């Protein structure tokens, strides 16, 4: 006996893959991902970190990170200090920084969908579409507006602190001290002197 899989309707929705998600959300660029990761490190640090420090810590592009932080500074999310010990710190507590604020700071406020008003171009209308065809918001655009609102509401409901708490649940207990040692060594390298680890041992930079 041969078991046959039921025929799939051509209207059946297939499983959503990561590629599909990336395609739909393509307007959220890698800069948003880099920016949020960098801000998470700042949320856990009481020392200023330069854009180069943050890039090297995570193995990501220096040039990308350097372009992101002026935008975050203009939005009041971070502030910068100069000098050899200088760098960036959060300008507000993580609980007061929403993911949506970070997205808008980096990407600018732009719509999810740019309606081209195709509904009025039907050949039947001969270049003079009737009111019934073009009145009100395009039905397709309306769906996209609802999707955009849902997305923005979700991003606004999540703070940097929320993400940080989820990350902290996964990390082993020694991870924060390892990061602190890396930062201390990095800063000491800038100052040209030996550093001391969180355990009190001297670390050569």
171-181 pLDDT, tens digit per residue, is 898 888 898 88
Give the CATH number, domain containing residue 64: 1.10.10.10
Radius of gyration for the alpha carbons in the chain, expressed in angstroms and rounded:
24
Burial 140-153 (b: 16+ CB within 10 A, else e): ebeebbeeeeebbe
Within a domain: 135: no
Q: Is residue 102 part of a domain?
A: yes
Output the average pLDDT for the chain: 83
Q: What's the pLDDT at 180?
A: 87
Task: Evaluate whether residue 65 is within a structural domain.
Answer: yes
Residue at 7 is within a domain = no
Q: How many domains does the chain have?
A: 1
Asked whether residue 4 is domain-assigned, the answer is: no
Is 123 within the bounds of a domain?
no
pLDDT at 198 over 60: no
Sign of CA dihedral 142, 145, 151, 153: negative
Phi, psi of 159 (to 5 degrees): -105, 170
Would you say residue 178 lies in a domain?
no
Range of the domain at 92: 19-109+159-170
pLDDT (0 to 100) of residue 13: 42
What share of the chain in percent tops pLDDT 90? Answer: 57
In a domain, 144, yes or no: no
Does residue 103 register a pLDDT over 80?
yes
Mean pLDDT throughout 91-97? 97
Residue 96 corresponds to which tokens in the numbers above?
């007061």
């Amino acid at each position: 006996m041969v078991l046959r899989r039921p025929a799939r309707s051509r209207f059946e929705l297939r499983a959503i893959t990561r590629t599909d998600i990336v395609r739909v959300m393509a307007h959220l660029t890698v800069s948003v991902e880099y920016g949020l990761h960098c801000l998470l490190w700042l949320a856990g640090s009481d020392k200023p970190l330069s854009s180069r420090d943050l890039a090297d810590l995570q193995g990501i592009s220096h040039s990308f990170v350097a372009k992101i932080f002026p935008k975050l500074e203009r939005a009041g999310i971070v502030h910068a200090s100069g000098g050899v010990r200088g760098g960036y710190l959060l300008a507000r507590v993580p609980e007061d920084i929403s993911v949506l604020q970070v997205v808008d700071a980096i990407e600018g406020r732009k719509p999810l969908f740019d309606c081209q008003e195709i509904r009025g171009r039907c050949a039947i209308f001969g270049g003079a579409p009737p009111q019934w065809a073009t009145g009100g918001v395009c039905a397709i655009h309306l769906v996209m507006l609802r999707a955009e609102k849902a997305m923005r509401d979700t991003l606004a409901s999540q703070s940097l602190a929320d993400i940080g708490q989820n990350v902290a649940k996964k990390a082993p207990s020694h991870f924060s001290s390892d990061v602190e040692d890396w930062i201390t060594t990095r800063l000491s390298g800038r100052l040209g002197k030996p550093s001391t680890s969180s355990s009190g041992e001297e670390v050569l930079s």
